[in-house]
Amino acid sequence: MRLLPVLMAQTAPLAPEGAVEHLRADVLRLVGEFPETRMLVYPEFHTCHADGSRTERESQYQQMAQPLNGPRMEALRDIAREAGVWLLPGTVVERGPEGELFNTAVVLSPDGELAASYRKIFPWRPTEPFHPGDAFTTFDIPEVGRVGLAICYDLWFPEVVRHLAWLGAEVVVIPTQTTTSDREQELVLARRPPSTTRSTSSASTHPTPSGPGEASPWTPRAWSAARRSAGPPPC
């Protein structure tokens, strides 16, 4: 039997200043509390929170954007290596080679390598100022299987998870930041990919007041294996 113990963090987003240090402390605390964890998943924008008007958020994204070989990624690689887990630290704001902004999910292996990166194909227009990605992404965990990546609004387009399944993904991880009242509709959508592709989907999102919560993994039969309520976990 192939087992992948996954810990999904339903936690509030962090402002970029000090976010990586806060993340490191949280990762080490969680891994210490749940030592069987092999993969740790955080919500979309977890270390790259922006607020204010659309123009103000775009300005903040421009300021925090870094390439994937920048200092933020080096620090995230160190955290994964220190914790010894597959770390999905939410999404980061990536500076592209032509100055573009991408909303990018990254995967760090237990030895601190950048195992995969995925640029969100369907930014939530017109709210998100990001360039769309142009490639589907999977990565392999030895002796476990193949994992696909999607981000938040991608879930509304069935082709995304279906294509990941065609690429061999048995699990699809979907870091999410939902700030609107349609989380229940998203949960309906989250049930659809497992029932149509035979893969398992997992979505991690922010608790109130930053979001509606309801982080949840879904089995290949579209059953919820667990479901976290809207509030934050107890301290």
Catalytic residues: 44, 120, 152
Quick one: how far is CA 41 from the chain centroid? 6
Q: Of 187, 175, 213, 181, nearest to 12 (Cα)?
A: 213
Degrees to nearest 5, angle at CA 26 with 233 and 120? 85
Please list, in sequence order, all residues whose beta carbon lies within 8 angstroms of the beta carbon of residue 216, skipping any fewer than 6 positions away. 187, 190, 202, 203, 224, 225, 226, 227, 228
Residue-wise DSSP of 74-131: HHHHHHHHHHTSEEE--EEEEEPTTS-EEEEEEEE-TTS-EEEEEE-SS--TTT--PP
Q: What is the helix (H) or strand (E) element at residue 141, kind and residue range?
A: strand 138-141
Both tokens of 128, joined, read 């998100």
DSSP 232: P
